[in-house]
Amino acid sequence: IIQELTKQELTPTATVIAMLSLLGLFFYLRLAYH
């Protein structure tokens, strides 16, 4: 999927989505352990 987005010149959008997913996972783990 990331490669297809890169071909369509949507790299910034893909980067933002990746960062948001990582932040979401980070907060989910924090809430899970606390």
pLDDT digits 0-9 by tens, 1-34: 667 756 776 678 878 899 999 999 999 999 998 7
State the CB neighbour count (10 A cutoff) for residue 2: 12
In terms of DSSP H, where are the helices of the chain?
A: 2-7, 11-33
- For residue 4 the two structure tokens come to 């297809």
For tokens 């010149």, what's the residue? 9
Closest CA to 2 of 21, 10, 22, 25: 10
Alpha-carbon distance 24 to 17, whole Å? 10
Side chain identity, residue 10: L
- Record the pTM: 0.53
Which pLDDT score is estimated for 19? 93
